[in-house]
Structure 1
Amino acid sequence: MIRVVNRVLLALVGLVLLCAGGVVLAQGLGWSVPSWWPYSGPHQVLLSRAARERYRADGWWWPVVIAGLAVLVVLALWWLLAQLHRARLAEVLIDSGDGQGALLRGRALEGVLEDDAESLDGVARAHVRLRGRRSGPSARIRLLLEPHASPHQSLNRLTDEALAQARESTGLAALPSEVRLRASRHGAERVT
């Protein structure tokens, strides 16, 4: 999602800057420019005094300007924080024994871990996300437990079976994991 937003945002900013720069260059070289362009000569300012002071007497002007700038600041901060956010791990480096190593797709390992976790007794659903470096990944696992499941047993089986098998098959020395457990909702049972 963030990749699409980045590309669209950069394309729009680039298009606006390219058009504005082209018009300024054309005006500076003495070529004809669109009639709506406010800049008509090399010694003319882009905004005249009358244009700058046109809405000062109106009561709505400053609140609208401040609100617009506040929205721009919030969007810019959101975009900056989204750039700093680490996405899921794309690939895991596996020691193949030849000194080169092999690359395993991160989503493939996530899928295998999810399937192994969901096959455990008492686990209704599992969601796995790999993070960290490709030579030392970590897993973030969310399990939805069935009503009859014991959280302690489910966590032990996940650690002893699914995570151990993933470590052995990838040849990783360790696969640190954060596991979040949540119980599924169920109706009360009647006793007669």
Structure 2
Amino acid sequence: MDRALRSCNRVLLALAGVLLLALGLALLAGGFDLARQWNLAMPSGWPWTEPDDVLLSRADRTQWRSESWWWSAVIAALALLVILLLWWLLVTLRRRRLGEVLVESGDGEGALLRGRALSNVLEAEAASLPGVDKAAVRLSGKRTSPRASVELLLSAHAEPGPVLGRVTDEALEHARTSASLDGLPAEVRLGAAKHRPERVV
């Protein structure tokens, strides 16, 4: 889900950037009358042929005002756009990496531990377990109650049950106790390493 969200964010931001760049270049070209100065043949129907031209004429802007459905459609479209943008923002903020974890000493004092440091240690310990080829860990949630998302790439002949037990009882438990956390909920995803077939002669 996180990879899909990151990919979706990149695609949407790239499209928005390309559209804004194209619009800005078109406005600059029209404002400085570059098409006429450089003798460029613009496409038919191009709105900016001279510096005083506008994107929408007064007739274009007012032609639908007399229709009863016009303002309802405009308000509904804008409301839908705002809802989609707010949803995208909330999902993006909720899925971000945890920057800090609060480590409490028990006497009312505490320290802040970088989330990246804790996830790196947890990742290294998980990757060192028997049957694990590679591990990736991401922390999310609040700094007082973090959550771990663990992705494991298992060796060819590893058994998922024992590997999951070691990750839970060793790596996650060590991370929880070292950070003095009451709990460390985790979602563990297991994948199998794909090896290229070898020809035996």
**TM bracket, shorter-chain basis:** 0.5 to 0.7
* Identity across the alignment (%): 50
**Corresponding residue to 2:125 among 79, 91, 116:** 116
Distance across 1 between alignment mates of 2:200 and 2:79: 59
One-letter amino acid of the structure 1 residue matched with residue 88 of structure 2: A
TM-score by length of 2: 0.58
Partner in structure 2 of residue 158 of structure 1: 167
Matched, 1:48 2:58: yes
Does the C-alpha gap of structure 1 residues 154 and 100 become closer, same or farther in structure 2, counting only changes over 3 Å? same
Report the counterpart of residue 83 of structure 1 in structure 2.
89
- 1:136 matched to 2:152: no
Letter in 2 for 1:101: G
- Aligned counterpart, 2:52: 36
Q: Residue 148 of structure 1: CA displacement?
A: 1.6
Note the 1:20-31 alignment, pairs <5 A.
none
Matched, 1:149 2:155: no
Letter in 2 for 1:139: A
Aligned equivalent of 2:104 = 95
Offset at residue 121 of structure 1 (A): 0.9
* Structure 1 residues 99 and 181: CA distance shift in structure 2, 3 A: same
CA distance in 2, matches of 1:125, 1:50: 60
The residue that corresponds to 2:46 in the other structure is none
- Helix, strand or coil at the partner of 2:98: coil
Deviations 1:121-173 (A, max 9, x none): 11111111112111111111110001021111111111111111101100011
Regions of 4+ moved over 6 Å: 72-77, 189-192
By how many angstroms is 1:106 displaced? 0.9
Structure-2 separation of matches of 1:172 and 1:50: 63
Instruction: Say if 2:184 is the partner of 1:175.
Output: yes
User: Judging changes above 3 Å, is the alpha-carbon distance between structure 1 residues 154 and 51 closer, same or farther for their aligned structure 2 residues?
Assistant: closer
Counterparts in 2 of 1:157 and 1:36: CA distance versus 1, 3 Å: same
User: Normalising by structure 1, what TM-score?
Assistant: 0.61
C-alpha separation between the residues in 1 aligned to 2:139 and 2:123? 11
- Of stretches 166-175 and 75-84 in structure 1, the one that deviates more from structure 2 is 75-84
Count of residue correspondences: 146
